[in-house]
Amino acid sequence: MLLIALITAAAILSSCGEEDEAAEESEQEEIRDEEAEEVEEEPVKTDESEEAEEEPVELEEEEEAEKEPAESEEKDEEDIVEAEELDGLEEESAEEQEVEEVEEDVTETETLDEAEEDAEIETFDEMEELSEEEEDIIEVEEAEETLSQQNAVSTARDYINYSSFSETGLIEQLEFEGFTHEEAANAVNQLDVDWQEQAVLTAEDYLAYSSFSESGLIEQLVFEGFSNEHASQAVSQLHVDWQEQAVLTAEDYLAYSSFSKSGLIEQLVFEGFSNEHATYAAEQAGL
């Protein structure tokens, strides 16, 4: 029984395996049939169809070839436009920079002008201040000079009132007193003095305490500052006995020194007396 059961089971398994194989074969046949139908449905490509397919490809290639230069030109034009735009931007930037520089220069110039104006105003103010200070100093100096000049005039007048002077002699005397040459000269110029008369007075003063020859007295007046003309006129206006002056001069020499007659005569001639007056004076002096 067991054997029969095994055989039966084997038969069943065998039949099942055959059925599965049969089913698989049936499925494969169906797949092959479908593929065959698909193959039959596909149209067979002919030379014409191939050419027809190739023509659009060539047209597309030609269109692409035509498009490439156009695209290249468009790209070049775009590059040119971009370059022009860049140049324009650069020019605008340069112009703006130039304008800014010009504005800066104008601003600097205006600033410099303002600074110069301020400096000029300050300089003008300083000059005005200095001018005012200088005016004050000048006023003080003028006041001092006026007082000093007044003193110089007063001193000059005092000297003329008690003694005789030449113009240059009086100026020198004032300078000796401490006045400046300008102050002394201005003071003397302000006096109303007859210098010819002063020469006469000076000559008389000299003859009052000493003896002179005519030429010797003229030389002495010139030494005192009188002109040769004033000195000569002054001496000519005097009433003098020149021979007597020779005797007085001889006596003065013999009072402090000893002379021979000829030596005394020579000394008197040297003093400006004539030989006649000198000889007469020596004889009158006891030689």
- DSSP per-residue letters across 30-67: HHHHHHHHHHHHSPPP-HHHHHHHHHHHHHHHHHHHHH
Q: Which two tokens stand for residue 194?
A: 């007859």
pLDDT-derived band at 74 (thresholds 50, 70, 90) equals low
Angle at CA of residue 155, ends 154 and 159, nearest 5° = 120
Distance (Å, whole) CA 202 – CA 170:
12
Confidence of residue 43 (pLDDT cuts 50, 70, 90): very low
Task: Answer whether residue 53 shows pLDDT above 60.
Answer: no
**pLDDT value for 42:** 46
Output the average pLDDT for the chain: 79
Q: Helix and strand tally (H, E) in the chain?
A: 10, 0
Instruction: Please state the rounded mean pLDDT for residues 51-61.
Output: 58
CA distance 153 to 173: 12
Mean pLDDT for the stretch of residues 225-249: 93
Specify whether the CB–CB gap between 164 and 194 falls below 8 A. Answer: no
Entry pTM? 0.49
227 — phi, psi (to 5°)?
Answer: -70, 160
pLDDT the model gives residue 46:
46
Q: Three-state SS string across 126-171, please?
A: HHHHHHHHHHHHHHHHHHHHHHHHHHHHHHHHHHHHHCCCCHHHHH
With beta carbons less than 8 A apart as the criterion, state whether 195 and 230 touch. yes
The pLDDT assigned to 94 comes to 75
| Cβ atoms within 10 Å, residue 237 | 14
Q: Where are the domains of the chain?
A: 102-193
- Please compute the mean of the pLDDT values over residues 225-234 and round it to a whole number: 94
